[in-house]
Chain A
Amino acid sequence: MSVHTPLFESEQIRLGPIDHEKDAEVESCWTHDAEFMRLMYLEPARPFSPWQVKKKYEALEKSIEEEKNLFHFRIRAREDGRLIGLAEIYFISWANAVGSIRLGIGAAEDRRRGYGSETLRLLLRYAFTELNLYRLTALIPEYNTGALALFREAGFVEEVCRRQALARDGQRWDLFHYGLLSEEWQRRAK
């Protein structure tokens, strides 16, 4: 790795900023897929119109400017530039050098194609070698088996189990906190 290493691209994908003209239409479609919403968010699933999504982008960029504890990326396919998903390092405490991480692949047909693991690889390198964080946390619901597999594969370990913290489909689910330390990531990266 050197200053020449491109931090924001890998084989299939590229990470970049929000496209305020085009992204809202696509993301509005994702929000109409309840499965995506429930894998991605703890709030009750609901669809959002493109206008509502745009408003969220504005609020998001305002908070990025003001709070300075959030890095937000759009995942795009390198082959045609289309929007695939979103990824964030958020809730950063600079004094403690820690943060949280999450990502989502929007369309069902784009899942299980390696986009998630490529994104996670880029984000981890960014968090540990550019933001210089000491550790990362990922909050994952028990029913999100895809995310559990993805983060375990990347070296995250279960640290906290908030028992029955979520209610969905008439049953109770645990909410896990997974953690990865910079030194653990560096050992694996070698």
Chain B
Amino acid sequence: MKDLFRGKLVRLTAEDPETMARLFSRWSGDSEFMRLEDWDPARGFSVKAAREWIEKHWEKELAYAFIIRRLEDDHIIGEIGLNGIRWEHGDAWLGIGLGEREYWGKGYGTDAIRVMLRYAFTELNLHRLTLNVFEYNPRAIRSYEKAGFVLEGRERGVLNRDGRRWDVLYMGILREEWKDGR
């Protein structure tokens, strides 16, 4: 059987809230990272606040939230996770953030997404995955397309940033559209 948690460039690991919180607290100081991640106003989070948030959410439901590590040296690149899983409908949200900027644009994110797709479709047996991405993030859009996601529509003008309105794009992939490793 395949090692489900390992791709060509990266592997996914589970970490304690303390480790996740330290990473996220540091990444939250990067306003560009935060504005690509979330529609809330960018702001920094203390380690304590981040840890309490994570612990609260992990106690409520089993979290499929992982850290992305580079295979060649085990360096941490970012985080990836499935949220809001609706088991009865077989749908979940995919979220990914590469907090370490020096790894942007090198294919690590796409590889991590491919690992998550295989996990979602062959172990969790979901029917589809959903994600949304902001109009001003073409690097992410390209990566999602490479991994097999297709555009399902755009909500007009949801974001108000840098003095103008931006769309939020929705993308999806069905299990029948997903092709392992190709």
Contacts and interface: CB of A to CB of B under 8 A. Distances in A.
Interface of A: 42-44, 93, 95-98, 134-135, 137, 158-167, 172, 177, 179, 181
Given A44-B88, A95-B41, A167-B88, A162 B172 contact: yes
Interface in B138-158: 152-158
B72 to A, nearest CB: 37
Contacts of B159: 96
B39 A95 contact: yes
Contacts of B153: 158-161, 177
Contact of A135 (B39, B90, B127, B158): B158
B127 A134 contact: no
Contacts of A164: 127-128, 174
B86 A42 contact: yes
A179 B156 CA distance: 8
B128 A165 contact: yes
Contact of B158 (A42, A43, A96, A161): A96
B90 A162 contact: no
Interface in B119-135: 127-128, 130
A93 B155 contact: no
Contacts of A42: 86, 89
B170 A160 contact: yes
A160 B39 contact: no
A67 to B, nearest CB: 12
B157 to A, nearest CB: 6
A98 B155 CA distance: 11
A57 to B, nearest CB: 20
Contacts of B91: 162, 165-166
Interface in B28-45: 39-41
A108 to B, nearest CB: 24
Contacts of B172: 162-163, 165
B152 A96 contact: no
Contacts of A44: 88
The 4 lowest CB-CB distance pairs between A and B, nearest first, are: A160-B153, A160-B170, A96-B160, A95-B41
Given A96-B39, A163-B172, A163-B174, A135 B89 contact: no
B170 A162 contact: yes
B114 to A, nearest CB: 21
Contacts of B155: 135, 137, 159-160, 177, 179
A159 B155 CA distance: 6
A153 B124 CA distance: 40
Contacts of A165: 89, 91, 128, 130, 172
A78 B90 CA distance: 42
A42 B130 CA distance: 15
Given A96-B160, A97-B160, A177-B170, A163 B40 contact: no
